[in-house]
Structure 1
């Protein structure tokens, strides 16, 4: 037990501690947004990267709407003497509590999903408890990855390719958000390759091969890796940069896996729309773009839960698959609508004046960042001491 008063430790986008009650409340609110349409006897799902962003939304929507069973995997930090546990740790505990209360048999493993030991631990649990897997959802996001065969540690970088990148960016260093500038030199070949090894399809492929090797692919097995394309405004740093190169590799991996699975399975990438996540907030210019997008769309900005609902409806056959010419599932039409992008482009053309018009959008963006760590959540009393020692859910205990 460790009941203490905590305050956010924040500098710009960086927040190094999290609030247990606030993190739990964000999960509860997401849960309540999702219509309950299931008896809890749905497909078996292995969800890699369940604790944040689209992975968390996919988990909660799958449980609430489709009664998924299975295993979620994340790599979160426990509480230390100096810091709270990560927000993903607290969110997982909250998600487990909700799943238990609804009678769902879903368990959570905290391990390095990139490692051989992590894969062995997870697949042994899947095999013992659930048998074959119907859906593998790949939503891992990490700054580095160790190749399990060679031991090489790869670090991803966010850089342009070919030419330097200079563009407006949102600056939260002062009391009021303002427009700054970001300048980045292009990545070299080694940095491009390293980013591909972290964020591309190498680990996704290993997971599918490991499932197949243990005979854990169900008939009609489907695997999906979540990805993003975004606007041409951010393309130089995203889709045309090191991240984009990794995403192209991810898409090629989907095609390769689909060929290997043949008629017995399916493999796709699913292109989600913009979202405020811990990963996206680290990408230069994305914050300003997202603030402008929110200003243009208002409540029409699609939440991760709404998009996850669309994804599950397509995967389960409730609605037809929406595929583009490259065979990717598309969930981002609301963002890339021509009229929407034209209005965002108008703000982008004069970013200082645009920010004055989009002040509410910038404030909203920072509020969303704080909520990722459990701070600034309405209804949470941050003036009261809170229990910060929250146990990770025990995988071996059945909640069915």
Structure 2
């Protein structure tokens, strides 16, 4: 087994390598922090839980959905992600290592979880999942969580490849943003983003909208794999008025609107087909590999943490609440648009007012007193397994971690 000392190499918020031991401790820490639901409150015994499919299971809210589902709802089933194996010059991706750790957590908890490494947009992956559901999980799926953020998608019907873009709609947009120099010193800059042009909106909707989610449901329903009462949730985000021009009112926002419209269509179909439900779950802000790529969001997250501190609700905590609603442990509570809202702690008027006040005061000279920069900086590093308490980064660690073949003795 290859071992080496892994040191962080990064270009801005993007890191070139990941730390296997750090990624494992991130997963183990999330697991320890998640509340369990005891048997008298409805948790299933080992091996008897509902069958779930989590699409996008290795990072961000998808990882949180997987771990919260295992511990909170006692799920078994399948996780799908698209990760890179390590090689002679690069470690594997952080998601590769997190998946290996999640498989070990599932096995120790007595949960039968399979993990597939492949393109969630491809029909071959959908067919592989359908076969696995029949062969290993009794041919019935109870829940599907859709958490996919991707730069490109190839339509299986036409072969056309679409590319998503992050642009405002209608006019260019200038916003403050947070960057760190090579020494880690923060700087507030203003950046301009050109508006969408041509078919940018349509391309982004084709990648990040509801088309693939609906295709998954079509594929599984056509093979009679949806259990009675089947529920599905696509994870989404609305965000603050401070980031709205580039996010919710931009190209990505158009994709999110399409995702929510798809939920309403699917909800009608599933109600008639299996007495099921389809919803979007609007989650609160979090530091993820996707969110750090959006101008202004890094600054917003640091300021939000400065306002709320530990009152920020973690992705795992939010997804525990979602699983309670999907499994009936608590009532399914929807807003007027048919969405589960897990972001109310973030978007309350007093919180947003406090963040806005800090936003307008934020300069390179003042930012340290307005935002929790240490927290944000460490959260970014933890995405790749660095800055994790309890990990000895001076010690050599195994890097050629195998992809999990199975769980629970299979």
Aligned to 2:197: 188
Contact 2:86/2:93, CA 8 A, preserved across alignment: yes
Whether 1:221 and 2:230 are equivalent positions in the alignment is yes
Whether 1:17 and 2:24 are equivalent positions in the alignment is no
In 1, Cα distance between the equivalents of 2:307 and 2:182? 25
Q: 2:214 aligns with which of 194, 205, 210?
A: 205
Aligned to 1:358: 370
CA deviations 1:216-257 (Å, max 9, x no partner) are 010011110000001111000000000000000000100111
CA deviations 1:119-154 (Å, max 9, x no partner) are 111221112111110101001111111111111111
- In the superposition, the TM-score normalised over structure 1's length comes to 0.97
**Post-superposition shift, 1:260?**
1.6
Aligned to 2:40: none
Q: Which blocks of at least 5 consecutive residues in structure 1 are unaligned?
A: none
**Post-superposition shift, 1:47?**
0.7
CA deviations 1:343-367 (Å, max 9, x no partner) are 00101112216513224x1221111
**Relative to 1, partners in 2 of residues 1:220 and 1:354: Cα closer, same or farther, differing over 3 Å?**
farther
In 1, Cα distance between the equivalents of 2:358 and 2:224? 53
- In the superposition, the TM-score normalised over structure 2's length comes to 0.95
- Equivalent residue of 2:234, what SS? strand
Aligned to 1:293: 304
Aligned to 1:393: 404
Contact 1:288/1:362, CA 8 A, preserved across alignment: no
In 2, Cα distance between the equivalents of 1:121 and 1:208? 14
Contact 1:103/1:399, CA 8 A, preserved across alignment: no
Aligned to 2:29: 29
In 2, Cα distance between the equivalents of 1:32 and 1:356? 31
- Equivalent residue of 1:229, what SS? coil
In 2, Cα distance between the equivalents of 1:244 and 1:88? 26
Aligned to 2:143: 135
In 2, Cα distance between the equivalents of 1:338 and 1:309? 24
- Equivalent residue of 1:159, what SS? coil
**Aligned residue pairs, count:** 398
Aligned to 2:172: 164
Contact 1:106/1:399, CA 8 A, preserved across alignment: no
C-alpha root-mean-square deviation of aligned residues, in Å? 1.2
CA deviations 1:272-296 (Å, max 9, x no partner) are 0000001111111000001100000
Q: 2:286 aligns with which of 257, 270, 275?
A: 275
Contact 2:52/2:76, CA 8 A, preserved across alignment: yes
